[in-house]
Chains A and B, each alone.
Chain A
Amino acid sequence: MEILVCARRVPDTSENEIALNSAGNDIERDELVFSINEADNYAVEEALQIVAKVGGKVTVVTVGGEDDEEVLRREMAMGANQGVLLSDEAFTGSDGRGIATILKAFVQKGNYDLILTGIQAEDGAAQVGGMLAAMLDYPFASLVNSIEILDGRKLKIGREIEGGNKEMNEIDLPCVLSIQTGINEPRYVGMRGVRAVATVPIPTYGAPELDLNAATVGAAAAKVRRVDYFVPQVGNGAEMLKGSREENIEKLVELMAAKGGVK
């Protein structure tokens, strides 16, 4: 099975405290630690497990710049056969539709049976997979937390819905699935693995190579644009205990006793 995984490099929220910059209009970008978007990493692992069962090839693609090669190499160190970078000045400022348009152009250059994305990235929009599927007229399922290969170019997939329940569906290939975190246990990638792929060439395609009309992507084509970031004041917030650890524990035990927590 030929599988394409669409991935993205994002600020790692388990490594960074996301805060506003001093101007108060953007996040503080100095010293941000970046990594592959968590859900995308699950998608790559799922692709690798499918290929291990039924054969085939896994390609990881990202839309971005030179810095983003880092996540492609990481996923190649995991076992992906190829990483591809889609990069062009004209792509800058694309909204979700723009990203999906770029990916669609790349998909049409290949012959993929299955396209996976992570359910969402740091912006929480959960949009590119569904848009890409609609552009390609492929069936789509979101929040996928299990995949089983069936005969006759079909998959049996589970979707995670409210309350931990699971909605089972059958879906025709080719299709696009957006993968929920927790679907598998992504394998560990050591430094050795990353070094082993450090010099593998990564093909880069721009708008001309993708036969893409630059006017359909980028900032000018974007219907949706983020104006700024801010941190709202929600409610009164917590009463912060600011004593020493011992003082805080003392106070907390009192509070818990008052609330029926310590008997």
Chain B
Amino acid sequence: MAQIFAYIVHRAGVPDDSAAELAAAARKIDAAASPTAIVTGCGPELDGVCSALRASYAEVWKFANDALTHPNAELIRKALVKILPPASILLLTHDHLGIDLSPGLSIKLNAAYLSDVLGIEGIEGAHLRVIRQEFGGQVSSHVRCDISSGAVITIRPGAFKPLESALLNGTVIEKSSEAGALTAGRRYLQMIAAEAGDVDITKHNVLVSIGRGIQERENVAVAEELADALGGAVSCSRPVVDAKWLEKSRQVGSSGKTVKPKLYLACGISGAFQHLAGIKGSPFIIAINKNPKAPIFQVADVGIVDDILEFLPQLTSKVREMQGVRPK
């Protein structure tokens, strides 16, 4: 059985939550696996990360280099190519660094690449069988992958539940000297924080959230009117921001805001995982969508198959009518 590694992302000296999820995924590949964590970065922060990981990984490989003050996929790739044994299986998180790093790394390692994996069924001879999603989560697929020359696998955040395990008190192994000088054709400049926007959707208890089903900029008003009636705000999924119908600050999802409303109306939203990742605190979710197979119905509390452009105005009228007979 190939050795399994987990590349761990960290921020401000703390490993990302996905560290434990990658360990869980490793044990789905091989129940007896003792995966090795790999961390890259520099300074005392990196030592803090290594110490924290010793609890859940028997071995932690530390790669420190001043060029890695900010994660740079090309540099990390060069380091990993040097330090990974042949035919290794490497797990990473399917986030903005995983997406940047993993495809090219698989080429340099001559390993198979499996992207955004959310289930692992196990090994069949030289093959690994996994579960992915396609078409924005509308269908899933079984994928078979030849891992005889190794594999690079990105794991969907949140898809694998961390396992309860005994404290391991693992060993930190210094790997910093194994890669030599690192240079890249891409250099980090700075981080630009997201703009605040006119409405802070993270502060609202009621969100009327719209997706592609709103169809046109002019129709956004239909959602605004309902949000007004409900005393809430309008938020949206990615396609609405891409089309420039609403500001980026209204977007709910992994590349937008994380919201914690009490009531969430998903209107014409298909329910891709990137969107769902932005909804926290278990709100009551009402989904209205023309497509009865929209993935949003799997996670909603209540669902209605209807055209939001006709449904929402009538719903708004009804809410107004109720408020009229029941004074505030």
B230 contacts which of A128, A166, A256 (Cβ < 8 Å)? A256
Q: How many residues of B contact A (CB 8 A)?
A: 98
Interface size class of A (residues with CB under 8 A): 35 or more
Given contacts A158-B192, A234-B298, A262-B323, whether A139 and B143 have CB atoms under 8 Å apart is no
A234, closest chain B residue (CB): B298
Closest A residue to B272 by beta carbon equals A124
Interface string of B227-257 (1 = CB under 8 A from A): 0001110000011011110001101001111
Q: Looking at the assembled complex, report how far the CB atom of A102 sits from the nearest CB atom of chain B, in whole angstroms.
A: 14
Name which residue of chain A comes closest to B307, CB basis. A245
0/1 string, A149-173, CB within 8 A of B gives 1: 0000000101111111111111110
Q: Is the CB of B186 within 8 A of A250?
A: no
B230 and chain A: residue at smallest CB distance: A261
Kindly list chain A residues whose C-beta atoms are within 8 Å of the C-beta of B315.
Answer: 249, 252-253
Assuming the contacts A131-B106, A164-B257, A257-B322, asked whether A122 and B143 have C-beta atoms less than 8 A apart, the reply is no
In the complex where A140-B74, A164-B194 touch, is A182 in contact with B186 (Cβ < 8 A)?
Answer: no
**In the complex, what distance in Å separates the CA atom of A161 from the CA atom of B95?**
8
Stretch of B21-29, B134-142, B170-178 with 4 or more beta carbons under 8 angstroms from chain A? B134-142
1/0 contact string of A233-263 vs chain B (CB within 8 Å): 0110111110001101110110111011111
Instruction: Kindly list the 6 A-B residue pairs having the minimum CB-CB distance in the complex, ordered from nearest.
Output: A139-B185, A130-B103, A134-B104, A164-B194, A238-B303, A182-B242
Q: Which residues of B contact A172 (CB under 8 A)?
A: 185-186
Give the shortest distance, in Å, between A123 (CB) and chain B (any CB): 5
Contacts of B112 in A (CB 8 A): 223-224
Neighbour of A19 across the interface among B134, B293, B305, CB < 8 A: B293
* A130 and B104 within 8 A (CB): yes
A245 to B187, CA, bound (A): 56
Bound: A140/B99 CA distance, A: 11
> In the complex the two chains form, is A140's CB within 8 Å of B104's CB?
yes
Known: A100-B107, A229-B140, A253-B315. A123 touches B99 (CB 8 A): no
Q: What chain A residues lie within 8 Å of B244 (beta carbons)?
A: 182, 185
Q: Say whether A181 contacts B242, CB under 8 Å.
A: yes
CB of A129 closer than 8 Å to a CB of B: yes
Residue of A nearest to B96 (CB): A161
Are A262 and B189 in contact, CB atoms less than 8 angstroms apart?
no
Closest-CB distance, A173 to chain B (whole angstroms): 9
Please give me the residue from chain B that is nearest to A239 by CB atom.
Answer: B302
A141 CB–B CB distance under 8 Å: yes
A-B contact pairs, 12 of them (CB 8 A): A97-B107, A124-B116, A124-B134, A141-B100, A161-B255, A164-B249, A168-B192, A169-B188, A237-B298, A238-B303, A240-B305, A245-B306
CB-CB under 8 A for A227 and B129, given A100-B107, A182-B238: yes
Q: Is the CB of B298 within 8 A of A235?
A: yes
CB distance from A17 to the nearest CB of B (A): 5
Minimum C-beta distance from A94 to chain B (A)? 13
Residue interface mask A109-147, B partner, CB < 8 A = 1: 000000000010011111111110111001111110000
Q: Assess whether B258 is in contact with A230, with CB atoms less than 8 Å apart.
A: no
Cα of A143 to Cα of B103 in the assembled complex, Å: 13
Task: Name the contact of A238 in the complex, choosing from B298, B314, B328 (C-beta under 8 A).
Answer: B298
Stretch of B32-40, B53-61, B82-90, B284-292 at the chain-chain interface: B284-292
> What separation, in Å, do the CA atoms of A189 and B114 have in the docked complex?
35
Q: Quick one: given A181-B242, A182-B238, are A255 and B302 in contact (CB under 8 Å)?
A: yes
Task: Point out the residues of chain B lying under 8 angstroms from A167, CB to CB.
Answer: 96, 188, 191-192
Is A36 on the interface with B (CB-CB < 8 A)? no
Instruction: Tell me, yes or no, whether B63 is within 8 Å of chain A by CB.
Output: no
Please name the residue on chain A nearest to B270 by beta carbon.
Answer: A13
Q: Is residue A215 within 8 Å, beta carbon to beta carbon, of the partner chain? A: no
Contact A11 B263, CB 8 Å, known A143-B100, A182-B242 = no
A20 close to B (CB within 8 Å): yes
> How many angstroms from the CA of A100 to the CA of B103 in the assembled complex?
10
Of the residues B212, B303, B305, contact of A14 by C-beta under 8 Å: B212
| Contact A252–B194 (Cβ < 8 Å) | no
Kindly report which residue of chain B lies nearest to residue A260, judged by CB atoms.
B262
Q: A165-B191, A245-B311 are in contact. List 10 more A-B contacts (CB 8 A).
A: A19-B138, A19-B139, A19-B293, A123-B134, A135-B107, A162-B95, A163-B258, A165-B194, A168-B192, A262-B322
